[in-house]
Structure 1
Amino acid sequence: MTDSQYAWPAHDSADVVILGAGPAGLVLGNLLLRAGIDCAILERSGLECVRTRARAGFLAANTVRILARHGLDEGLRRYGQEHRVCEFRTEGGRFRLDYGRLGSKDPHTVYPQHELVADLLTQFLDAGGRIRFDTEAVAVSDADGPAPSVTVREADGRTGRWRARYVAACDGRHGAGRRSVPPGAVRHYRRDHGVSWLGLLAEAPPSLDAVGYALHPHGYAGHMARSAEITRYYLQCARGTRADTWSEDRVWDALDLRMRAAEYGPLSRGRLVQRAVVDLASDVLEPLRHGALFLVGDAAALISPSAAKGANLAVLEAEILAQGLTAALREGDPTALDAYSDRCLAHIWRAQEFSHWMIGLLHETPAPQGAPPFQERLRRSRISALRDSPTQQDWFAENYVGI
């Protein structure tokens, strides 16, 4: 598949214009297309970038059910791997939770997000869906009027305009959708968690048969399998650290130390093929709608990666919005569309709460100089309860996998 293979003629209108070809935009596009809704996706990157950009890969059970319900799970069924165990390593030892047997008894499915995106993109294009690559949405205008429009800029610098009845902003926290909401039209809730991670992708087989969370005086370290050959690692780092500051030897030595490789076995080392610093922060906009403009995925709410909720929320929101748009456009019934924001926010805030809990579990909170380490004692109590209390384990499992 090449860009030229899908070099669609210029169209400048659709009933629904979707900004962004990530999981949210492509799930929404596929569902609208199958419902007979005229839609088009505008994506600022090129086709190859969309198909290969690496993101998270943990899919919640409900996300898998949504994709299966709409026949969007062929690759997932063939290549996805169920994960149902996580391991915690602390100064007090290590313990494992088989969360697939706890709480709601649901597993995660590990399926790299770029593979899911490639699947969704192929289905959308093969079904005749319209998508414009290398087309950046600059602004959404007149969303609260009778004729919304999207101003776009092509890769060669030319600008144009798309007309729409509805616009779905699936283009992230820095995209045109969120920028186009007028000041005062939404409430913006923000939190900087004061923690940074060095995110790493290694050409190395997994070293654990579980998701690994290591709590260490030098900082948190995480291990997440992506495939038989690729593993995702995280290392807590100082705020302001540059991604290229640490050498590969320093990275692996820090991972060995924090994951206590001397006690529990060496890590499988390999070439680091991707690295990025992530400052853990959360935000939520309320409501998720301004007139005909709807916010979806990271455009609606940013959630820290501590509990792997972002892509799962995006897929859920896309299904809810597709239901509302279909009812409004095919049946003239706006009821479900009017309920979109409230329905999504209920899930978003629950996910935010659990993500915040996980951040407190995984990271030390420095006490003021001279003060007793009160928060650190609370964190140790949380770990003890998670290790020893069946009730706490059930609560963890239900929220860890659920959205």
Structure 2
Amino acid sequence: MRTQVGIIGAGPAGLLLSHLLHLRGISSVVLERRSRDYIERRVRAGVLEQGTVDTLVRAGVGARLLREGMSHQGIELRYGGAGHRIAFEKLVPGRAITVYGQQEVVKDLIAARLEAGGDIRFEVDDVAVHSLEAEPYVTFGGERLDCDVIAGCDGFHGVSRPSIPEGVLSVFERDYPFAWLGVLARVRPSAEELIYARNEAGFALHSMRSPEISRFYLQVPADTQMADWPEERIWSELRARLETVPGFTLETGEILESGITPMRGFVAEPMQYGRLYLAGDAAHIVPPTGAKGMNLAVADVRVLAEALGRFFGDGSTDLLDGYSAACLGRVWRAQHFSWWMTTLLHTFDDDDAYARKLQLSHLDYVTSSEAAATTLAENYVGLPEQAVAMVGQEGGQAGHGDQR
């Protein structure tokens, strides 16, 4: 087989890239090791930045998102027995977030690609990439796909990043000493906007996926096993951490899914080697506190699609050559914001009374200073492209070797 761009991974990054390339008249084949049913049901992120929504709408795959997604103009920081609203409509006028599950984005993109005759191969095995410096190709299931470029959109555990020769990448990472226990429940949300709750027992998040489905997270030890958390314990702990302001009652219901999410920050630089370009979780992971994972993936492929459009249009490689540097400014801004939100709201076992007082002082500052609240708001809804470009002007050229 022959195509212009071989795409490994049918998550939001790979599917959106394939769609954006199609709009530019560029052919692609998407290879995915999981089944279509699995990736359309897999519950992941659910908070879309303004720029992500705008990208999907401009690409013609946002009709259901606009119809069913829940637009939010703020979030609540809850601590010390009180709730404090960060008002996006006041602090960052015209920019908001939209709650719409990642699996719904995936469904919309798959439908659009198949309707346009796109080539998506599900349940493929033995995927490997070859000849990255010259004439790249991908092998899978006894077949060969020749292409001009390979896009590695196959996540943190995929084959793309490990295929880059040793010594090329610099890896920067941080593991946090706790995890998130997440549950999806068939119950109407108990609040209209997301609640980020900090208390001495640990962090909790009240979120939602639809008017009838709620999403909750609890900070738990990193080695937590789901077997130790029956439904009664989950609801009891959520009530203890969220029912801390007068008049708030947490509604409970049937738990549909539950799982443990490790908390880590990870960046591999550069995000390219030869004719292989990494996007999304294949290149970077953020702790979910800042709601940046899927939004970073969308931002990556937006840059990559433009660069590939230039390459296949007139043969120019300038944008492709600068792909990594163009992405890393946003990546590191999201890393910092996610780290900042995590340290602002979580309890750490090694914190003493002094550290806890500092954390509360920082929360007081964020919720009482318009300047500090604006910093949170503009990062949460997503920085405009020009702001990110300025942040990243010096980025993307780190030395080799792991950085811990």
TM-score by length of 2: 0.91
**Structure 1 residues without counterparts, runs of 5 or longer:** 1-11, 154-158
> 2:333 maps to which residue?
350
Percent pairwise identity: 38
**Do the aligned residues in 1 keep the contact of 2:73 with 2:88 (CA within 8 Å)?**
yes
Residue type of the alignment partner of 2:44: R
d(CA) in 1 for partners of 2:247, 2:88:
21
Verify the 8 A CA contact 1:365 1:376 in the aligned structure 2. no
CA distance in 2 between counterparts of 1:195 and 1:103 reads: 32
CA distance in 1, matches of 2:22, 2:137: 20
Tell whether 2:372 aligns with 1:392: yes
Quick one: structure 1 residues 244 and 323, their matched pair in 2 at CA, closer, same or farther if it must change by over 3 Å?
same
Instruction: Spell out, residue by residue over 1:345-394, the C-alpha distance to the aligned partner (whole angstroms, 9 max, x if none).
Output: 010000000000001111123337xxx53322221111101111111111
- Per-residue deviation at 1:301? 0.5
Matches within 5 A, 1:3-402: 12-103=1-92, 105-136=94-125, 138-144=127-133, 146-153=134-141, 159-260=142-243, 263-367=246-350, 372-402=352-382
Equivalent position amino acid for 2:280 in 1: G
Q: Contact 1:22–1:170 at 8 Å: present in 2 too?
A: yes
Asked if structure 2 preserves the Cα contact closer than 8 Å seen for 1:107 and 1:401, the reply is yes
Conserved in 2, the CA contact under 8 Å of 1:13 and 1:162? yes
Question: Post-superposition shift, 1:262?
Answer: 7.5
**Deviation sequence 1:245-296 (CA, Å, 0-9, x none):** 2110110000000112674322111111111111210100110001000000
List per-residue Cα deviations over 1:133-165 (Å, max 9, x = no partner): 111353212212x22122223xxxxx3322221
Q: CA RMSD in A?
A: 1.5
Structure 1, 254-263 or 35-44: larger mean CA deviation: 254-263
Find the counterpart in structure 1 of residue 396 from structure 2. Answer: none
SS at match of 1:327: helix
Counterpart of 2:392 in structure 1 is none
- Conserved in 2, the CA contact under 8 Å of 1:103 and 1:395? no
CA contact under 8 A between 2:180 and 2:219: conserved in structure 1? yes
Aligned residues of 2:243 and 2:250 also touching (Cα < 8 A): no
| Counterpart contact for 2:203–2:241, Cα < 8 Å | yes
Distance verdict in 2 for CA 1:285–1:192, change over 3 Å: same
Tell me the CA shift for residue 53 of structure 1.
1.5
* CA distance in structure 2 between the partners assigned to 1:180 and 1:382 by the alignment: 43
> What is the CA deviation profile of residues 79-124 of structure 1, one whole-angstrom value per residue up to 9, with x for unaligned ones?
1110112112212522222223213551101111111111111111
Cα 1:290–1:66 change in 2 (3 A) is same
Residues of 2 paired with 1:261 and 1:351: CA distance?
A: 30
Amino acid at match of 1:182: P
Going from structure 1 to structure 2, the CA distance change for 1:18 and 1:137 (only over 3 Å counts) comes to farther
Q: Distance in 2 between matches of 1:137 and 1:65?
A: 36
Distance across 2 between alignment mates of 1:245 and 1:395: 38
TM-score, length of structure 1 as denominator length: 0.92
Rounded Cα–Cα distance in structure 1 between residues aligned with 2:156 and 2:368: 39
Asked whether the equivalents of residues 104 and 398 of structure 1 are also in contact (C-alpha less than 8 Å), the reply is no
* Cα distance in structure 1, aligned partners of 2:293 and 2:312: 28
Residue 6 of structure 1 corresponds to: none
Cα drift, residue 50 of structure 1: 2.2
Kept in 2, the 8 Å contact 1:53–1:114? The answer is: yes
SS of 2:148's equivalent in the other structure is: strand
